[in-house]
Amino acid sequence: MSADRLPRLTAKVLIAGLIVYVAWRALSLSMTCDEAWTAEALPYPGFFSFITPSFFAGLNVHLLNSWLINLCLTVFGEHDWAVRLPALAGGICYLCLAYRLSARLFDGWAVTAATALLTANPYLLDFFSVGRGYALGLGLTMLGLSRLLAARDARRPPWHLVFFALAALANLSFLYAYLTALALAVIRFAWQARQGSRPRGRALAAACLPVLATLVGLSVIYGPTMRIAAKHNEYWWGSADGFVGGGLTSLFAVTLYRTGIDPALPRLLAWMAMGLLTGLALAAVATRAWTGPRRPIATAFFTLLAFYGIVWAGVTVEHALFGTPYLMERGMLFLWPVLVLAVCGGIGCLPPGRAWRWAGGGLLVGLCLIACGNFARAANLAYTFTWRNDACSRPFMRRIARENYPRNFTREKIGIAVSHMAIHTLDYYVRHLRMAYVDTVRGLEYLPKAAYGIMPADLAATPKVADRFEVIMTCPASGLVLTRRRGDGKKHAGGKPF
């Protein structure tokens, strides 16, 4: 036990530091366009009533997350952190369970390595600090995986399906995780029947209850919303390049947290991960890892391999039958803990000899150093990878507010021109900063009549813009600048066309 004390303490310190990191970012980051789009109509009267056909804004509305955001805004008031509170809670749940699951499955420094690999992903951590449903889904998925891998009695009812179903409510991409867990429960039931230990009577009813409850619940809630999404053609986002070549490759690309990288690098990493899993599986089979003291970790390893394989097969069949795109980027996040735990579990299944131990330990150390180095390079308190252009939305709008408050409302109101992707974010701040003197927020085509413009620095430097607008604030994180119409600074509208 004493040999495990330092590795476990190190892992706990890592988790505590990451909790501080994601909480700080939840307080300091500007709102992003997607979370502003979701939150601009909230708080809405009633807990569930705002999810209606007239409100439904496509799959951007992550149902369970949106319900909880509505509750938080109603209870705590209209604050950025209130919008992000459900995601932060889900992220903290994920971080704590990452340590707990690692400590249960592994020993020694493998606990620290597994915890670091599960958590030191800068792209994954982004979603713990913004008001999207992915963090809540990841936290619930980790709860489901924890219960799935802890089930020693195959006759116990699969109540872990409830956590996977709630994850699917948090974000639709997690529906694949729920269906996979459901498939594993059916496979387990079929195996019991073959072995002659199929549950009967009350035991059978208890085993079927979580299956039926989650299926009916998801069908009732998601049935109408998925029909609305299909009507609005919301299923277009994804990859056409295959599950590994497009989906898993894109997950590694965003995990690297940099733009402009050679596409061959994440593709190589994806196929190397597949090769590593295949090699570990073959080694486990060749050495009969399911016998002797390695049986618990081998059971977890093969369960995780089956989980990943069912997702791969299901997404591929869905694409072949219906033409839906393959999962990609954040749509693949639910597979990150599955892949990491599978790799660590496969290393734990290696035979106990010195050569195997050194090979497995060296592999874990190498992977851990790469993950921690990537996180150290990417960690920041200013922006997220997906919504980097929103990095300075809050300080830009506060600058405009300082220049115009208190304002004589008998004067003509002002307009702001921005890129179309930022309109929702600025509309959100117009409302939450009580900027009643802002008449409109429109696209950059409105710039000739706008008082302020938010645009790329190179556009602001062009003569036709620089002659009429001056740069008053810059954003190094996004490369955008805040510009103000030249003149006396008070007559803000009615400019001539460019």
Using one digit for the tens of pLDDT, what is the confidence trace for 345-388?
A: 999 888 887 888 888 889 999 999 999 999 999 999 999 999 99
pLDDT (average), residues 211-231: 80
Residue 210: name the closest of 175, 186, 176, 192 by CA. 186
End-to-end Cα separation, the chain, in angstroms: 74
Question: Over the stretch 34-66, which tens digit does the pLDDT of each residue have?
Answer: 888 887 767 665 555 545 554 554 566 788 898
pLDDT score, position 289: 80
HSE toward the beta carbon, residue 56, CA cutoff 13 A:
19
3-state secondary structure of 86: helix
Of 1-5, 128-132, 435-439, 486-490, the range with the highest mean pLDDT is: 128-132
pLDDT score, position 496: 44
Question: Over the stretch 399-427, which tens digit does the pLDDT of each residue have?
Answer: 999 988 776 555 678 899 998 888 889 99
Question: Over the stretch 242-258, which tens digit does the pLDDT of each residue have?
Answer: 899 888 999 999 999 98
Q: Give the total residue count for the chain.
A: 498
The alpha carbon dihedral of 95, 98, 100, 106 has a sign of negative
pLDDT score, position 233: 67
Token pair listed for 447:
């710039």
Position 329: which residue type? E
pLDDT (average), residues 332-349: 94
Q: CA–CA separation, 97 vs 341, rounded Å?
A: 12
Q: Kindly report the CATH class assigned to 392-485.
A: alpha beta
The three-state DSSP-derived secondary structure of 356-387 is HHHHHHHHHHHHHHHHHHHHHHHCCCCCCCCC
pLDDT at 494 over 50: no
Question: Over the stretch 149-201, which tens digit does the pLDDT of each residue have?
Answer: 986 655 678 889 999 999 999 988 899 999 999 999 888 887 776 766 666 66
Q: CA–CA separation, 228 vs 246, rounded Å?
A: 27
Long-range CB pairs of 262-265, under 8 A, 24+ apart, other chains included: none
pLDDT score, position 58: 58
441 beta partners: 416
Are β-strands 438-442 and 452-456 bridged in parallel, bridged antiparallel, or unpaired? unpaired
Which residue intervals of 77-105 are DSSP H helices?
Answer: 80-105
70, exposed or middle or buried, with CB in 10 Å at 0-12, 13-18, 19+? buried
Give the helix/strand (H/E) hosting 226.
Answer: helix 202-231
pLDDT score, position 488: 44
Question: Over the stretch 288-302, which tens digit does the pLDDT of each residue have?
Answer: 887 777 788 889 999
pLDDT score, position 407: 64
Structural domain boundaries of the chain?
2-378, 392-485
475 beta partners: 480
Task: Please check whether residue 104 is in contact with residue 344, taking contact to mean a CB–CB distance below 8 angstroms.
Answer: no
pLDDT score, position 288: 82
Rg, the chain, Cα only? 25
Question: Over the stretch 60-110, which tens digit does the pLDDT of each residue have?
Answer: 678 889 889 888 988 888 889 999 999 999 999 999 999 999 999 999 899
Question: Over the stretch 298-335, which tens digit does the pLDDT of each residue have?
Answer: 899 999 999 999 999 999 998 888 888 888 899 999 99
Q: Which of 15-19, 81-85, 234-238 has the lowest mean pLDDT?
A: 234-238
pLDDT score, position 354: 81
- Residue identified by tokens 């809050």 is 394
Position 179: which residue type? L
Q: Omega of the bond prior to 199 within 30 degrees of 0, cis?
A: no
pLDDT tier, 203 (very low <50, low <70, confident <90, very high otherwise): low
Contacts of residue 190, defined as CB under 8 A and 6 or more positions apart, other chains included, come to: none
Q: CA–CA separation, 277 vs 358, rounded Å?
A: 18
pLDDT at 234 over 90: no
Task: Please check whether residue 248 is in contact with residue 332, taking contact to mean a CB–CB distance below 8 angstroms.
Answer: yes
